[in-house]
Structure 1
Amino acid sequence: MTTIHSPLTDDAHKVVTEALRDALIDLVDLSLAGKQAHWNVTGPRFRTIHFQLDEVVDAARKHADIVAERSATIGSPPDGRAETVAGDSQLPRQQPGWVRDDDVVATFIGLYDGVIARMRQRAHDVERADPVSNNILLDVIEELEKQYWMWQAERG
């Protein structure tokens, strides 16, 4: 079995590994929540929200890949398996079935509020331990906050 050695100290490695693991779980689950809502949104703003949810999914998947690759880079195998995400996600569970457009907007405002708070804490936690991982998390936060603004503006 191949072992990837971390360039970080043991203490830094532990902090960064945990932050990246939890960030990956949030991002994978956010992409799944986006697809679930994308398939089930209804209402007068269906088309707009349907396409806005594509942006949620694309951004979450892009950043999940970057976070996962950083984890591998520092010697921590990323784990985005369904069972890991389902067992450890902090995102609220969505109900199955059709969802009104206003409810989708409210749901995603809430999702982004929680994910952003957790990402900001992770960025703070890794700031000194690993500036590279911190920079990656800051990029994630920048994108999440942009989308958070858009969802809030959608609420009107």
Structure 2
Amino acid sequence: MTEFKRQVLPDGKNAKVVETLQTRLVDLIDLSLQLKQAHWCVVGHNFRAVHLQLDEIIDDVRMGSDEVAERISTLGIAPDGRASTVAETSSLAKMEADFVSASHTVTIVADHLQTTINGLRESIELLGDLDPISEDLLIGITGGLEKHLWMVQSQEE
């Protein structure tokens, strides 16, 4: 195992920061995967608009998960984005593996975004005193996801 000689944070803070970042990483990876599932399986009225919108959200979520994983690495710990870890520890409900109407897809996506945002906000609160750099990173990701939530839930009937 590689150990970095220089730590960005003291050991006591580092472990807490990495733990909460790892939790957020798992949720972001799961969100991107489940949104792709929704993207492939959306059908019905407004199919194309929802289909394309999901790709936009997925791009932002994937970028956010990469930033979180790289922050964990910066703190000297290997991030864990393996499928088994994501499946075992994600906070998100499982998405259906079937075709879903665009209107129902919008509701499911909004719910998944809300769950992810709630977790991010919890971590932001925790990180305030521990690591303002990680806190700022999550604030940026959350802001983008909240905008996507607004745009998605604005379509609910």
Same fold (TM over 0.5): yes
Task: Report the counterpart of residue 84 of structure 1 in structure 2.
Answer: 85
TM norm structure 1: 0.96
Q: Superposed, which structure 2 residues align to 1:4-43 within 5 Å?
A: 4=4, 5-43=6-44
Task: Report the counterpart of residue 112 of structure 2 in structure 1.
Answer: 111
Distance in 2 between residues matched to 1:76 and 1:6, nearest whole Å = 10
Q: Report the Cα offset of residue 11 of structure 1.
A: 1.7
Q: Report the Cα offset of residue 53 of structure 1.
A: 0.6
| Secondary structure in 2 matching 1:53 | helix
Task: Report the counterpart of residue 3 of structure 1 in structure 2.
Answer: 3
1:62 maps onto 2:63 in alignment = yes
Q: Report the Cα offset of residue 6 of structure 1.
A: 2.7
- Measured on the aligned residues, the alpha-carbon RMSD in Å equals 1.0
The one-character-per-residue Cα deviations of 1:57-84 (angstroms, maximum 9, x if unpaired) are 1011001000000000001111111000
Aligned residue-pair number: 156
**Structure 1 runs of 4+ off > 3 angstroms?**
none
Distance in 1 between residues matched to 2:129 and 2:104, nearest whole Å = 39
Q: Give 5+ residue unaligned stretches, structure 1.
A: none
The sequence identity of aligned pairs, in percent, is 39
| Secondary structure in 2 matching 1:91 | coil
Letter in 2 for 1:47: R
Q: Give 5+ residue unaligned stretches, structure 2.
A: none
TM norm structure 2: 0.96
